[in-house]
Each structure stands twice: as structure tokens, then as C-alpha cells.
Amino acid sequence: MEDIINRGGGNLIIELYNTTPDDKLDSTPVHFKIDGINRTVEAGDKVVLTPGESICLEPHMYHRFYGEPGKGKILVGEVSMVNDDKSDNCVYEKVGRFPPTFEDVAPLHLLANDYEKFL
């Protein structure tokens, strides 16, 4: 379970789907809350969060979010229940957790996936 918060700037677009038991995109209506108010959209519909609004997403919801073109930069926050990124995240389009980095100097601060390499 997680809350995604548009902390400021432009509008945040969120596309929503439920998951099927075999982790595919479901075609059923999606139920969620924006600032504590129950809402429902059709699978794949887009929800717009304006600055200051937040959405509460239940487990087993696929979601993709991005800034609305032409509305400016956005500061997005996420608050989630305790989870293990290696086993709790359900990702439809498989992507790496962190993009690759190519360091030309020793790091001053380590990223989460750097500790095994440097310690």
C-alpha cells in the first residue's frame, strides 16, 4: 500500500490498472482514494493530481505516473508500507531498479545497490 503525493509544481498524471492473479493487466474498474475520497475509474484511465493532492493505492495495483506535458516540473513524494523491494514490488514492464552509472571518480555517497561493491 502506498500514497503518491504531488507536493508541488505541475500536474501529475497516473494511469491505473488492477492485476490479475497471474500478474497481468486486469480490465476491471479500479477503486482508490484521492485525499480520502473514494474514486473509481476504468482500467487504464488517467487520474490527474494537482499540487497538494495525494492518491492512496492498494496492493496489486499497477500504476504509471508522469508529469502532464506543458504544466511544469513536479515534486513527487511516496509514502509506503514497509516492504522489501526485491520481493514485494509488482512491476508489469520489467525495468532495472536503478539505472546504470559509470563513475569516473570514487563515490562520495553510496547508493543502495553500491554497498556490496564498496564495503
Convert the pLDDT of each residue in 46-94 to its tens digit. Answer: 999 999 999 999 888 999 999 999 999 999 999 988 876 666 666 667 7
CATH number of the structural domain spanning residue 107: 2.60.120.10
pLDDT at residue 95 above 80? no
Count structural domains, the chain.
1
- 24: Cβ–Cβ under 8 A, 6 or more apart, which residues? none
Domain that holds residue 101: 2-118
In the prediction, which pLDDT does 89 show? 63
pLDDT digits (tens, 9 = 90+) for 30-48: 999 999 999 999 999 999 9
- 77: Cβ–Cβ under 8 A, 6 or more apart, which residues? 4, 5, 7
